[in-house]
Amino acid sequence: MDATNESSEEAPFILLGLTTSPGQRRPLFVLFLVLYVAGILGNGLIVAAIRASSALHAPMYFLLAHLSFADLCFTSVTVPKMLANLLAHDRSISLAGCLTQMYFFFALGVTDSCLLAAMAYDRYVAIRHPLHYATRMSRAVCTALVATAWLVSHLHSLLHILLMARLSFCSSHQVPHFFCDHQPLLRLSCSDTRHIQLLIFTEGAAVVVTPFLLILASYGAIAAAVLRLPSASGRLRAVSTCGSHLAVVGLFYGTVIAVYFQPTSRYEAERGRVATVMYTVVTPMLNPVIYSLRNRDVQGALRALCPGRRISAADS
């Protein structure tokens, strides 16, 4: 590599952020600070309530605690840097910092994907096979599902980062995004990126599209069982709950698929930023509301958590 390329490799990346207009920076900072704090508080309270309550030790809550923890970390990988850059003049990030951010972003994003699929399977077993629920969703099975989610996600992320680290960036180091993401960086690279794009469409599909299809299949089976309920109010309540779950799942997977599963040449920075906000900020904030705060057991645990007393099954 010649001296010009060496100096280019050592140059930091500049994250252009959500906007280049100075007048929009402070309003965006306030908006995303509120969304970030709401997401952190919501997910943090869910984790604390489930850990503190002896009434919330069912498999569903075990999986939910891990989802909330993953969401809490997921937003913290990108949003604090985005908030700082909205107020700072220096929006640079080193190559090492960029790859580190990408590693945890991919790992936690895939963990989310796998845990959402595990939670859908839990609801499927609970509704379609209630007599076998205790054995099919034992603590050992739940632990294996969670461990698999974390292991697969980190292996996935490590593979992608090792390939990204081999790329050369010989032209502009200005990233039209608020964090280091695949598509904008691939557009800046002067290396052959076809092998990385092929990996996205193959291995990436396995950890994103496959869980999405499993969730749709699980909720399809649940819907068939719900329609056979004798009570009209029970059917309406079940449809409302499943509908809200599927709305958030659709928002998460729909925007992820729209951003990553397209050729780099067709990637549009502005549309990519908007879609990314949906699955990095909005859905992690909505998950506590959709999966937890409408649940009476969780509401009881949260009310009991505030005064600082232990919670028993009688509290819920």
| Element (DSSP H or E) covering residue 92 | strand 92-93
pLDDT value at 115 more than 90? yes
Determine which of 4-18, 25-39, 234-248 has the lowest per-residue pLDDT on average.
4-18
What six digits make up the tokens of 290? 């959709």
For the chain, what is the mean pLDDT?
85
| Element (DSSP H or E) covering residue 13 | strand 13-15
pLDDT value at 24 more than 80? yes
pLDDT value at 84 more than 60? yes
Distance of CA 19 to the CA centre of its chain: 23
Q: Distance from first CA to last CA of the chain, Å, rounded?
A: 66
| Element (DSSP H or E) covering residue 14 | strand 13-15
d(CA 217, CA 49): 30
Structure confidence at residue 129 (pLDDT): 87
Please compute the mean of the pLDDT values over residues 72-91 and round it to a whole number. Answer: 93
Using DSSP, state whether 174 is helix, strand or coil. strand
d(CA 170, CA 187): 11
- Enter the pTM of the model: 0.87
Using DSSP, state whether 93 is helix, strand or coil. strand
For residue range 293-309, list pLDDT tens digits in order. 667 778 788 777 776 44
Q: Is residue 3 very low, low, confident or very high in pLDDT (cuts 50, 70, 90)?
A: very low
Structure confidence at residue 236 (pLDDT): 74
What six digits make up the tokens of 194? 């076809």
Report the amino acid identity of residue 240.
S
For residue range 196-253, list pLDDT tens digits in order. 888 888 888 889 999 999 999 998 888 887 777 777 776 777 777 777 788 889 999 9
For residue range 120-171, list pLDDT tens digits in order. 999 899 888 888 999 999 999 999 999 999 999 999 999 999 999 988 887 6
| Element (DSSP H or E) covering residue 175 | strand 174-175
pLDDT above 90: percentage of residues in the chain: 45
For residue 12, the 8-state DSSP code is P
Structure confidence at residue 234 (pLDDT): 67
* The total number of residues written for the chain in this structure: 316
Residue 215, CA distances (Å) to 28, 37, 79, 124, 249 in order: 33, 29, 27, 9, 8
pLDDT value at 6 more than 50? no
Q: Is residue 314 very low, low, confident or very high in pLDDT (cuts 50, 70, 90)?
A: very low
Give the closest residue to 124 by CA, choosing from 65, 79, 63: 63
Q: Is residue 7 very low, low, confident or very high in pLDDT (cuts 50, 70, 90)?
A: very low
Structure confidence at residue 293 (pLDDT): 62
Q: Is residue 9 very low, low, confident or very high in pLDDT (cuts 50, 70, 90)?
A: low
For residue range 167-196, list pLDDT tens digits in order. 888 767 889 999 999 888 888 888 888 888
